[in-house]
Amino acid sequence: MWFLGAVVTFGIAFFPMFHRLVEGRNRHFQNEAHFEQRITQYLKSKNKQPPPSIKPIKQRNAKLWAASIILIIPVFIIIYKLTKDLAIHEQQQDTYLSKALPERVFMPQTVPLTTYVLLTIATLGIGVVYWLYKTVNLYNAHYKAHLSVDKELNRLIEEQQNAGN
């Protein structure tokens, strides 16, 4: 929807789109600590040792990043960093969850970062629009997958509480 708005407004909607993307990313990564804490409590209640904590990913300044896209060149850097951050986060989360939960409930997405970079170079920068579209979709898919992992964790905790009563 944001892409359609950006096309209709000749790119003006890209500013709130970038801001929203970075803010959502920051919020999600902040909530990761709470999510890990819930998994740790669940594992300790089952007398299991929790895996080492996920290394936090650096927060980004959403306002600064959104404002900097007016210079065009930072768009490429921002999208690269956002895509790379998601790939790193998903790999860390997959490793953590595979050690913490009994069944595989999360599968990281493959992020063809090299393909996006080459496409952008080959199209003299126009490919960045497709790259941005795919990055937004990757983040949305990650959030959706995280919700299903959260539901599974809630189910496991509820089962344990019911078994204990």
CA distances in angstroms from 119 to 7, 51, 126, listed in the order given: 20, 38, 9
Please report the pLDDT score of residue 81 as a whole number.
92
Q: How far does CA 10 lie from the centroid of its chain? A: 27
Q: How many Å apart are CA 130 and CA 116, to the nearest integer?
A: 8
Residue 42 is part of which domain span? 2-164
Model confidence, pTM: 0.80
Give the chain's domain count. 1
Per-residue model confidence as pLDDT tens digits over 101-132: 777 777 788 878 889 889 888 988 888 888 88
